[in-house]
Chain A
Amino acid sequence: MDWQAIGLSVRLATLVCAILLILGLPIAYWLTFSRRRWTFLVESVVALPLVLPPTVLGFYVLMAIGARSPVGRAWEHWTGHGLAFTFEGLVLASILYSLPFAVQPIAAAFSQVDVSLLEASALLGSSRWRTFTRVLAPLSLQGIITGAVLSFAHTLGEFGVVLMVGGNLPGVTRTVSIAIYDQVQGFDYAAANATALLLLVFSFAVLSVVYGLTRKPWSVTRS
């Protein structure tokens, strides 16, 4: 089993999940509460990765971070090496690719919170930040957890974008799904099966734990 690839994938998914929470909460907040007319345009941009083929997204990210692009040149200036085919490049691409999986459940949870609770908080003297931390976030916890888990799981399993942006460098950009692909290409079905099964069991376990902790779909709501 390719433990190096598994470790790399877990590291990538954890990092992307953490960054997406930091980015996703304000984006979801803005999408939910902004009254600007062009909010829907931002919403569409955020949702693009849901419908775009990963290769298309990967291609544009590669163009955007390549050695000839301003972003790529700036990164090279700061760090001394390019962004394409590196772990950092992979993180950036994965953030874009998994953005809707973090933002949409959080925004959905925010919009379910009764606005009068937020107004009551303001009228009791609380700043927007305190209203967010004390009322909005606790009441949206299930959506936030769902967003975190989905973006983690989605990053763990991504393939097309990784291949386009990161290539297949062991220990740097060779994630678990690419390892599986490699093993199948080399007719090593036993190894592919072991890795795939591990990923399957792990994904199922994480989702079960989270949904088990946060959801009560069959319980009757007390009035």
Chain B
Amino acid sequence: MTTLRAVIRARVSADFLLDVDLAVEPGITMLFGASGSGKTTVLRCLAGLRTPESGRITIGDRVLFAADTGVDVPPQQRNVGYVFQQLALFPHLTVEQNIHYGLSALDQDTRRARSREIAASFRIEPLLQRRPDQLSGGERQRAALARSLVTNPQVLLLDEPLSALDHASQSRIIEDLRNWNAARGIPILYVTHSHREVFALGARVIVLERGTVLADGLPEHVLEAPEQESLARLTGHENVLDAVVESIRPDAATMQCRLSRSDVELEVPRAKGEPGSSVRIAIRAGDILLATEPPRGISARNVIAGTIGALRREGATVILQVDTGVPFEVHVTPGASESLGLAVGRPVWLVIKTHSCRTVV
């Protein structure tokens, strides 16, 4: 089993230094971060398309880059598969010629056999004689994967390759990729900025922000229970609120907090902090329920009265600003917004479960 290890320091711009230390085990690891976090720079350094200022990159025992000994294996010899965001299929060649491109050292028969085998793995046999511009989006992704993997790379790097596809096509392609990798077990680093993709595809996630690794581990640990405020915002916790711990209920493993500069109280899961200390509470805008009458007889511990301050629609989401003394962002569906007759100025009640609240630092 080979592991990709990389310590990379690279100056991206005057005020942006990429400084990461990664270990990518066999299987799919997601490299997650907002745009501008340095994800693509990491991939380019790993592939040899960019030389880091310092660091060390190894696959198993093989050294690809070592600043101290001056080793810098050129991209041609790294044996790294790379699927670009725009795929970079050669437009003047057929799918088969694209797949053969990386096999020029082999004889005709071996090449044919290898390309037929990979075409079967990625279900593109009927497309071999077509040009890239005659393929659908999903077919192009499959062709690009096949072209990279037919060379039997030691590592596969994917730069947001599936972000343009619908979820169903994405998961079918990933399923084929997993099957292909089941026998080989190479490390696959998959760059994405979508936390939905992280949950759908990855066994492990590395979170990158402003050029440093913020967290890594299992998606459900790292992204569902973020420990840092920046991570909380990155993972869709739109509300990050300052609060002070009022009291602690050890028996219920909860604590009562009052939001700063307001009378609003929230019950949140017990975390570090004594009464009187400050905490920050992160809540996903989509986890907040909205009622147009005071709700009664419900299990949720937090019911907060407020008024709708602003309302706008973005795609399939209606985004509300609710003023309760502190502003809350709440997301509802357009259908819910219509049937409740939500409008600016309307009084509403926010319902928040205790376990929808995360304390972050």
Main secondary structure of the interface of A (DSSP, over half): helix
Q: Which of B80, B90, B105 touches A123 (beta carbons < 8 Å)?
A: B80
Is residue A120 within 8 Å, beta carbon to beta carbon, of the partner chain? Answer: yes
Residues in B neighbouring A121, C-beta threshold 8 A: 90, 101
Does the CB pair A125–B102 fall under 8 Å? yes
Chain A residues near B47 (CB, 8 Å)?
A: 119, 123
The answer to whether A120 and B104 have CB atoms under 8 Å apart is: no
**Does the CB pair B101–A119 fall under 8 Å?**
no
Q: Whole-angstrom distance between the alpha carbons of A125 and B147 in the complex?
A: 12
Report yes or no: B76 in contact with A126, Cβ–Cβ below 8 A: yes
Q: Cβ of B151 and Cβ of A114 under 8 Å apart?
A: no
**A27 CA / B80 CA spacing, docked (Å):** 31
Question: Among the listed stretches B51-59, B81-89, B266-274, which one makes contact with chain A, having 4 or more residues with CB under 8 Å of it?
Answer: B81-89
Cα–Cα distance between A122 and B86 once the two chains are bound (Å): 16
A123 touches B101 (CB 8 A): no
Given contacts A124-B102, A130-B104, contact A117 B80 (CB under 8 A): no
B105 to chain A: which residues have CB within 8 Å? 125
* A139 CB-CB contact with B under 8 Å: yes
Q: Tell me the complex Cα distance, A117–B86, Å.
A: 10
User: Are B147 and A123 in contact, with the CB atoms below 8 A?
Assistant: no
Complex contact B133–A139 (CB within 8 A): no
Question: Does A117 lie within 8 Å of B151, measured CB to CB?
Answer: no
Interfacial chain B residues near A134, Cβ < 8 Å: 101
B86 pairs with A125, CB closer than 8 A? no
The docked-state distance in angstroms from the alpha carbon of A121 to that of B92 is 13
Query: Is there an interface contact between B88 and A116, defined as CB atoms closer than 8 Å?
Result: yes
Minimum Cβ distance to chain B for residue A91 (Å): 34
Question: Does A138 make an interface contact (CB < 8 A)?
Answer: yes
CA distance A114 to B70 in the complex (A): 30
Question: Is A127 part of the contact surface with B, judged by Cβ < 8 Å?
Answer: yes
List the A side residues contacting B101 at CB < 8 Å. Answer: 121, 124, 126, 134
Contact A126 B88 (CB under 8 A): no
Q: Is B345 an interface residue (CB 8 A)?
A: no
Assuming the contacts A117-B88, A119-B49, A135-B90, asked whether A126 and B104 have C-beta atoms less than 8 A apart, the reply is yes
Closest residue of chain A to B81 (Cβ to Cβ) is A123
Cα distance, A212 to B80, chains bound together (Å): 42
Q: Would A117 and B90 count as touching, CB distance under 8 A?
A: yes
> Does A215 sit within 8 A of B, measured CB to CB?
no
In the docked arrangement, what's the CA distance between A223 and B84, Å?
18
Closest B residue by C-beta to A120: B88
CB of B76 within 8 A of CB of A139, answer no
Q: Which of A20-64 contact B (CB under 8 A)?
A: none
Residues of B with C-beta under 8 A to A77:
none
Task: Point out the residue from A125, A138, A222 that lies within 8 Å of B76, measured CB to CB.
Answer: A125
The one of B49, B74, B92, B147 in contact with A124, judged by C-beta atoms closer than 8 angstroms, is B147
- Min distance, Cβ B11 to any Cβ of chain A, angstroms: 16
Contact B88 A125 (CB under 8 A): no
Binary interface encoding of chain B residues 40-81 relative to chain A, with 1 for a CB under 8 A from any of its CBs, else 0: 000000010100000000000000000000000011111011
A114 lies within 8 A of B86 (CB): yes
Tell whether A116 pairs with B86 under 8 Å between CB atoms, given A125-B102, A134-B101. yes
Interface hits, B80-123 → A, CB 8 Å: 80-82, 84, 86, 88, 90-92, 101-102, 104-105
Given A114, A127, A139, A222, which contacts B92 in the complex, CB threshold below 8 Å? A139
Least Cβ–Cβ distance between A144 and chain B, in angstroms: 14
Most B CB atoms within 10 A — which of A120, A125, A127, A139? A120
With contact pairs A130-B104, A134-B101 given, residues A119 and B88 touching in the complex (Cβ less than 8 Å): yes
Chain A residue at minimum C-beta to C-beta distance from B84:
A116
Is A123 in contact with B82, judged by CB distance below 8 angstroms? yes
Q: Closest CB-CB distance, A220 to chain B, in whole Å?
A: 13
- Contact status B78-A123, CB under 8 Å: yes
Task: Please indicate the chain B residues that have their CB under 8 angstroms from the CB of A139 in the complex.
Answer: 91-92
CB distance from B48 to the nearest CB of A (A): 8
CA–CA, A135 to B93, complex, Å? 9
Of the A-B pairs whose beta carbons lie under 8 Å apart in the complex, a sample of 24, sorted by A's number, is A114-B86, A114-B88, A116-B86, A119-B47, A119-B49, A119-B75, A120-B84, A121-B101, A123-B49, A123-B75, A123-B80, A123-B81, A124-B101, A124-B147, A124-B148, A125-B102, A125-B104, A126-B76, A126-B104, A127-B76, A134-B101, A135-B90, A139-B91, A139-B92
Task: Point out residues on B near A: beta carbons under 8 Å.
Answer: 47, 49, 74-78, 80-82, 84, 86, 88, 90-92, 101-102, 104-105, 133, 147-148, 151
Where the two chains meet, the residues of A that have a C-beta atom closer than 8 Å to any C-beta of B are 114, 116-117, 119-127, 130, 134-135, 138-139, 222-223
Assuming A122-B49, A122-B74, A125-B76, what are 18 further A-B pairs, CB within 8 angstroms? A116-B84, A117-B88, A117-B91, A119-B75, A119-B82, A120-B90, A122-B75, A122-B76, A123-B47, A123-B49, A123-B75, A123-B80, A123-B82, A124-B101, A125-B77, A125-B102, A125-B151, A126-B104
Interchain residue pairs A-B with the least CB separation, the first 4 = A124-B102, A120-B88, A116-B88, A122-B75
